[in-house]
């Protein structure tokens, strides 16, 4: 990440972040990295649930530290009338509010979009929830694996023997929630430049997942075939697009799709007869799988990786995370860097995923301590020192 003084793409955009855990935190950090002023509003005493999640570094959660850079923290009890009053004053000068409560919670607090737009007609408000603000499941509880299951995505993972398995990444939370929320917020801000008015952005993690299904949904919608893990070409059924165990116990991924890469692979492993059957099924696939497993088991993973790379065949080691972050490609793209934290000391940070030529992402602030910016924020709103002390005494902040 570029940490020099640069133009910020979202400089001047003020974001009030009411979210907890992964989906909202990822969304608002991406906005913050591009220059938005993100104020994280947290429950007094406890804060974001993620602050307590293991592993802890010293006092703070590692995942919290990776999700909350470039933000400030204000503790605020939104159930207290004085807390609501502070929030309304913040809304007067805000551009965006992001919240991740169950549908209806903000309305019950008297802080729903209809109420807030009366204060600030230019406000963009984004709600991130499992199933969105409408439909029979709008108030149902759920988490990543549940949204994947209901969206028809979970069946894509696993094999006929194992059945569906839990994916190792939070695909619904980040892919269906965080990224869709960033997209929605930026589109709403752009529309506001034309109309002069804000709007409400309703993000459902289940809805967001459906966009990810386009390739495999074609099987269901156009061929009447349900795609399941281990049963389709790109779901583990093809020898040319799979993962293999090597002689040293390490694994290697093979990702051959184009025929010219397949032909080069067949020549490399001295099996020219395979050139005519890149996508075998049934017994032919079983035979090809067996031979390829024996092939890869005959040499260490690094040997295979070097041979395939030299022949320009799509393949890659199954790296550990330590290996991934040490890889020259990761270093060239600045996918890991360090920042200084006032309590935790030097801490690692994951790099911003998009490179801009004129408005690169920047690192400005370490992840905040709980309520670290209470005095500064409230003073900027016009609260006197004695008023701030009273709010603290009354457990409003």
Q: What are phi and psi of 134, to 5 degrees?
A: -130, 170
Q: Which residue has the tokens 């996508």?
A: 279
Nearest to 30 by CA among 9, 50, 44: 9
What is the 3-state secondary structure of 117-132?
HHHCCCCEEEEEECCC
Extended strands (E) in 175-284: 200-204, 241-245, 251-255
- What are the pLDDT digits (tens) for 126-163? 999 999 999 999 999 999 999 999 999 999 999 999 99
**Residue 101 near residue 126, CB atoms below 8 Å:** no
Which is more confident, 59 or 155?
A: 155
- Rounded CA-CA distance 238/281 in Å is 8
- Rounded CA-CA distance 39/18 in Å is 9
Nearest to 87 by CA among 388, 381, 387, 389: 381
Ordered structural domains, the chain, with CATH: 14-212+334-393 (3.40.50.10540), 233-245+251-317 (3.30.1540.10)
Tell whether the model's pLDDT for residue 4 goes beyond 70: no
Dihedral in degrees, nearest 10, Cα atoms 175, 180, 182, 184: 180
Q: What is the pLDDT of residue 7?
A: 80
pLDDT band at 170 (very low <50, low <70, confident <90, very high): very high
Tell whether the model's pLDDT for residue 63 goes beyond 60: yes
3-state secondary structure of 35: coil
Task: State the chain's mean pLDDT as an integer.
Answer: 96
Tell whether the model's pLDDT for residue 248 goes beyond 90: yes
- What are the pLDDT digits (tens) for 313-341? 999 999 999 999 999 999 999 999 999 99
Catalytic annotation, residues: 143, 173
Residue 366 CA, distance from chain mean position = 19
Extended strands (E) in the chain: 14-17, 37-42, 71-75, 96-99, 124-129, 200-204, 241-245, 251-255, 315-317, 336-341, 345-350
């Amino acid at each position: 990440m570029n940490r020099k003084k640069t133009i910020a793409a979202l400089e001047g955009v003020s974001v009030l972040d009411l979210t907890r855990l992964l989906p909202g935190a990822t969304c608002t950090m991406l906005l913050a990295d591009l220059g938005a002023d993100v104020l994280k509003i947290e429950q007094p005493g406890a804060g974001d649930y993620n602050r307590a999640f293991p592993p802890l570094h010293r006092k703070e959660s590692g995942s919290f530290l990776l999700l909350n850079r470039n933000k400030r923290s204000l503790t605020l009890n939104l159930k207290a009338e004085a807390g609501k009053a502070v929030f309304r004053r913040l809304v007067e000068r805000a551009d965006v509010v992001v919240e991740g409560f169950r549908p209806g919670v903000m309305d019950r607090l008297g802080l729903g979009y209809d109420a807030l737009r009366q204060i600030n007609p230019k406000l963009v408000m984004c709600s991130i929830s499992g199933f969105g603000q409408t439909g029979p499941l709008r108030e149902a509880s759920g988490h990543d694996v549940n949204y994947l299951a209901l969206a028809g995505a979970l069946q894509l993972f696993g094999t006929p023997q194992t059945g569906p398995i839990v994916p190792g990444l939070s695909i619904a939370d980040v892919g269906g929630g965080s990224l869709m929320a960033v997209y929605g917020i930026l589109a709403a801000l752009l529309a506001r430049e034309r109309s002069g008015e804000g709007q409400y952005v309703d993000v459902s993690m289940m809805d967001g997942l459906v966009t990810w299904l386009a390739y495999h949904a074609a099987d269901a919608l156009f061929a009447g075939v349900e795609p399941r893990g281990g049963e389709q070409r790109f779901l583990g059924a093809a020898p040319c697009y799979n993962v293999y165990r090597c002689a040293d116990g390490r694994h290697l991924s093979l990702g051959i799709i184009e025929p010219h890469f397949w032909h080069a692979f067949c020549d490399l492993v001295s099996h020219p007869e395979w050139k005519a059957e890149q996508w075998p099924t049934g017994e032919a696939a079983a035979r090809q799988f067996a031979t390829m497993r024996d092939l890869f088991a005959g040499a260490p993973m690094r040997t295979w990786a070097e041979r395939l790379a030299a022949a320009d065949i799509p393949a890659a080691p199954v790296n550990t995370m330590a290996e991934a972050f040490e890889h020259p490609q990761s270093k060239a793209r600045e996918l890991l860097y360090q920042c200084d934290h006032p309590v935790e000391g030097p801490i690692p940070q994951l790099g911003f995923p998009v490179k801009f030529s004129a408005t690169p992402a920047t690192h400005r602030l370490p992840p905040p301590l709980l309520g670290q910016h209470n005095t500064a924020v409230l003073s900027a709103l016009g609260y006197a020192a004695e008023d701030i002390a009273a709010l603290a005494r009354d457990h409003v902040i």
